[in-house]
Structure 1
């Protein structure tokens, strides 16, 4: 069953997604679920790699009965605790690693976990959600230029998992570059705000998930058993350095998103302040005019210009007076540099 489509279906192969017997020279041959039961290397240099769907019923029991894995470790390998970690148990390396979810409809922050167990002769990887990383290493093995031993296989898996982060980081940086080149005054501010907030949230999620992975890879490099050779430690050290660089890139992207958010919010605040200022100026201009017209509009006897026989031009005199007050206030506001 294809690793990219397998979800909860049950096949004759049980939980097996694929398995290979590595020949120690970069190649490997397929092996079925039935054949790998009780497997032992037929000649020096051979090792077994089994990739399983961990939610299949009976996987935990198989790990305990076939590989003699202790119950706590079997629970870790088949459970939903996906925080990256790695530890050594005698000659066995156990790890939980995370990769970016590139499945259709997934967001970069939707991380996918992969559990790993290796004793130097057998390596078991387990996943629940489809993950492309094992398929990358499998393609190299089937092409005849893959890893030749357990240490190189673990190193290959971690390298592919970390390298795939680059695509998500580049996409986020490209999005930020496009946003930085936009004319904010001509764009929909709300849409820009949502886009930048999404990028920042993705950066925070990647940083939160990949930070522990950095620690897990360091634990593998430092504490792995003797079958994890010196050149494997050097190669995984390079992977750690690459992951550190990616984390630095995520930091830069996150800070860029914060700067863009601050600029958008600053523009919105400035626009609101300009609007409030203009409303205040208009209110200040019309306040005396409103007072004057309200005063002259009261319905009491004795108002100047009201009643029959009084000055016929009283109304126009009031209009001229209001206009003169308006001009005087505009002149004063310009003199005081309020306008």
Structure 2
């Protein structure tokens, strides 16, 4: 689109392809021309004015498109218009400068999306249209949902491989497994975020499938299939989260056992040296009458007595299987 960096407009041809339009051409667009998809980045200068003046969107449409929320939101404006707010996992947590949402206003013949142009859903659907394998019209939402679920499936496979590697390193008891707890903490955070994303995608599909909008109702079968795929992906994520939890418990149990062994050995050592320390402390007082102070062999005799006492204590502990 002229003058708008990272923004674009595509006119779908109804056969899986699309051709780009300029800003002037979008102003003269008519519903009979075909499905129009206009994409605007959220950092576009004066975006509210653009939505109002250029695309003539009413306030009830502009406000949701400019809103920021941490959940899925679907508003039915009338029997033909939807406003969708979906979360995507390929950016940082939402804030004023870095939104992670895909916001869309959709009708039977027009769609306006507000999201980072580099967002995977936008890039993937745009590439599909460029190769003639994209949506044909009102199934644009299905294309976004399919891309999101496919991305989640690939990400789930990557996380599964990462978790399997951590499990293998832990079970192998190698010396270089000291970084496993840190890697597992990062992986568990990623799993929680990914599971939330899959859950939100599934909720969005289910909510859209329950709408009575006519052009949405025509896609009920595809929406049900997508919801089932999302449900399956959610179960896989739950399984990964459970495996990560079990691995965390195993690591914690091993760390606790190691700490207990160390404390036990320190207790044994303290027990062995306690009588020896008592004797040497008693003989080290600065008072007269210490036995053997005038005999030159008294020190060696004391050392021998301490060694024998330590050996006897150690043998007694061994007989009781304490060490």
TM-score bucket of the superposed structures, by smaller chain: 0.7 to 0.9
Q: Which of 81, 87, 101 is equivalent to 2:75? A: 87
Instruction: Tell me, yes or no, if the aligned pair for 1:193 and 1:261 is still in contact at 8 Å.
Output: yes
2:125 is aligned to: 137
Q: Which of 114, 122, 147 is equivalent to 2:102? A: 114
Q: Over residues 231-266 of structure 1, what are the superposed CA-to-partner deviations in whole Å (9 max), with x where a residue is unaligned?
A: x22212222222222222222222222222222222
1:173 is aligned to: 160
Distance 1:258 1:328, change over 3 A: same
For residues 99 and 257 of structure 2, the distance between their equivalents in structure 1, rounded to whole angstroms, comes to: 39
Q: Which of 264, 274, 279 is equivalent to 1:292? A: 279
Give 1 or 2: higher helix fraction.
2
Instruction: Tell me, yes or no, if the aligned pair for 1:217 and 1:240 is still in contact at 8 Å.
Output: yes
Distance 1:139 1:296, change over 3 A: closer
Q: Which of 89, 109, 126 is equivalent to 1:100? A: 89
For residues 157 and 32 of structure 1, the distance between their equivalents in structure 2, rounded to whole angstroms, comes to: 23
For residues 224 and 270 of structure 2, the distance between their equivalents in structure 1, rounded to whole angstroms, comes to: 68
TM-score scaled by length of structure 2? 0.88
Distance 1:327 1:140, change over 3 A: closer
3-state SS in 2 of match to 1:51: strand
3-state SS in 1 of match to 2:29: coil
* Structure 2 unaligned regions, length at least 5: none
Q: Supply the RMSD in Å over aligned alpha carbons.
A: 2.5
Distance 1:278 1:129, change over 3 A: farther
1:6 is aligned to: none
For residues 143 and 74 of structure 1, the distance between their equivalents in structure 2, rounded to whole angstroms, comes to: 32
Deviation at 1:299, TM superposition (A): 3.4
Distance 1:146 1:317, change over 3 A: closer
Distance 1:180 1:129, change over 3 A: same
* Alignment pair present for 1:248 and 2:232: no
Q: Which of 173, 182, 186 is equivalent to 1:198? A: 186
Distance 1:193 1:186, change over 3 A: same
Deviation at 1:337, TM superposition (A): 1.5
1:315 is aligned to: 299
TM-score scaled by length of structure 1? 0.84
For residues 82 and 35 of structure 2, the distance between their equivalents in structure 1, rounded to whole angstroms, comes to: 15
Instruction: Report the more deviating stretch, 130-139 or 265-274.
Output: 130-139
Instruction: Report the more deviating stretch, 19-28 or 62-71.
Output: 62-71
Deviation at 1:58, TM superposition (A): 4.1
For residues 129 and 171 of structure 1, the distance between their equivalents in structure 2, rounded to whole angstroms, comes to: 24
* Structure 1 unaligned regions, length at least 5: 2-11
Distance 1:145 1:318, change over 3 A: closer
Pairwise mapping of residues 264-279 of structure 1 onto structure 2 (< 5 A)? 264-279=251-266
